[in-house]
A and B are shown apart, each in its own frame.
Chain A
Amino acid sequence: MLIIFKVMKLNLIFIVFFALTSCKQQSKTGQELNEFSEAKAAVLNEELEIYDFNGLEKFLNFKDDKTYVVNFWATWCAPCVKELPYFEQLNEAYKDKNVEVLLVSLDFPHQYDTKLKPFIKEHKLKSKVLVLDDADMNTWIPKVDETWSGSIPATVIYNKNKKLFFEQSFSFEELENELKPFLN
């Protein structure tokens, strides 16, 4: 389920406006508060692509001619942040060779605005960032890979012919070495 806010932007602004003005005039009811916070969150999140696992699954199963490097990370995960530049470097170096890096953030929803968005901006991430928000981890972790215990960083490299899974940190050289066999 991709949450598309853009088309709803005008409505949301109206709701925010309505909620703000009505709050001034009368005591806030629970419903109005709810509408207000939902609308506010929606407006702020409009640039993030947020999925539950059903929505994300297609990015792990493309059957086109590309090789995908899918990295599971979060801004609060120090080893993830450390290796992120290597994924960016890989994306840049191999984009002409039919390779695409996808960065799947597991940041907490309440930190999308305070941590994730500023991080993406500050580090000028060029690889596509997807956000996975799905609390039922025992259901989706094995669907990414049966051997994944759940620690991050974790990375999947796949194309239509094969798939490899890594529950580890990478250097650029290690990453490149794992990617190369996919390109032959």
Chain B
Amino acid sequence: MKNSIKLILAVCVVGLVSAFTLKPTAEYAGYNIGDIVEDFKLKNIDGKMVSLSDYEDKLGVIVTFTCNTCPYAVAYEDRIIELDKKYADKGYPVVAIMPNDTSVKPDDDLESMKKRAEQKGFTFPYLIDAKQDVYPKFGATKTPHVFVLDRTESGFVVSYIGAIDNNYKDASAVTTKYVENAVDALIAGTPIKETETKAIGCSIKVAN
């Protein structure tokens, strides 16, 4: 009897351990809507470090994974600047993060990021995920890829994941501004209608 209890316990322990060590599959990796975001600290183009916790006096943050080299990201640059201009004063500034490995994409290195930010007049931090350990936590897969965070008592909560709007080609032909709708809803205290959207983007580059 004693032995069989031991055996059952042993089976349970093995089961539990393997349950927690199994790797999550790619599509489920990263934050979901409602998850609390861990703090991160990344280097900005001015050489200073920027943390999410620096934004604790804001209502939230529009975290945007973007880069210099992806044509879709480039197509959205002006619209990312507009988002910051429109929402920084309302408490939801943009924080841009460049997630690519710069040995694969040399034109995404810190110096190039700095140049691009100057050319375009970025009004927000443009951080480099040099160790590539921040984007996987978000579950970002591509550029551009936006995560709207809302600050609550328990931390920054993921409130929207996806695209900026529904027309990458032509800003004037956009009929639904997903990110603006999400932030407007947060400001108004109403539910976000579309919390997740899909868009084509460039896969985040990792060294082989």
Binding site for B on A (CB under 8 A): 76-79, 106, 108-109, 135-139, 141-142, 147-153, 167, 169
Tell me how many residue pairs across A and B have CB atoms closer than 8 Å. 68
Interface SS, A side: loop
A138-B199 CB under 8 A given contacts A149-B141, A150-B142, A151-B204: yes
Interface size, chain B (Cβ < 8 Å): 25
Excluding A150-B198, A151-B202, A151-B204, 5 further A-B contacts by CB distance (< 8 Å) are A135-B168, A136-B166, A149-B145, A150-B163, A167-B26
A83 to B205, CA, bound (A): 15
State whether A138 touches B203 (Cβ < 8 A): no
State whether B166 touches A137 (Cβ < 8 A): yes
State whether A150 touches B201 (Cβ < 8 A): yes
Q: Is B60 an interface residue (CB 8 A)?
A: no
A152-B169 CB under 8 A given contacts A138-B162, A167-B26: no
State whether A109 touches B198 (Cβ < 8 A): no
* Contact for A151 among B141, B166, B173, B197, CB less than 8 A: B141
Contacts of A151 in B (CB 8 A): 141-142, 200-204
State whether B202 touches A77 (Cβ < 8 A): yes
Contacts of A108 in B (CB 8 A): 71, 169
Q: Is B27 an interface residue (CB 8 A)?
A: yes
Contacts of B170 in A (CB 8 A): 135
A142 to B149, CA, bound (A): 24
Output the least CB separation between A28 and chain B (Å): 22
Q: Is B167 an interface residue (CB 8 A)?
A: yes
Question: 13 A–B contact pairs at CB < 8 A?
Answer: A135-B167, A136-B167, A137-B199, A138-B178, A141-B199, A141-B200, A142-B198, A148-B198, A150-B141, A150-B163, A151-B142, A167-B26, A167-B141
Contacts of A76 in B (CB 8 A): 71, 202
A135 to B203, CA, bound (A): 18
Contacts of B169 in A (CB 8 A): 108-109, 135
